[in-house]
Amino acid sequence: MDTVFLGSCTNGRIEDLRLAASVLRGRRIAEGVRMLVVPGSARVRLQAELEGLDKIFLASGAEWRAAGCSMCLGMNPDQLSPGERSASTSNRNFEGRQGKGGRTHLVSPAVAAATAVTGHLAAPADLIGV
Tens digit of each residue's pLDDT (9 = 90 or more) over 73-91: 666 777 767 888 888 887 7
Q: What is the pTM of this model?
A: 0.89
pLDDT-derived band at 67, boundaries 50, 70, 90: confident
Query: Residue ranges of the domains in the chain?
Result: 3-127
pLDDT digits (tens, 9 = 90+) for 22-61: 999 999 999 999 999 999 999 999 999 999 999 999 999 9
63-64, strands of its sheet edge to edge: 63-64, 34-38, 3-7, 85-88, 103-106
Burial group, residue 103, by CB count within 10 angstroms (0-12, 13-18, 19+):
middle
The CATH classification number of 3-127 equals 3.30.499.10
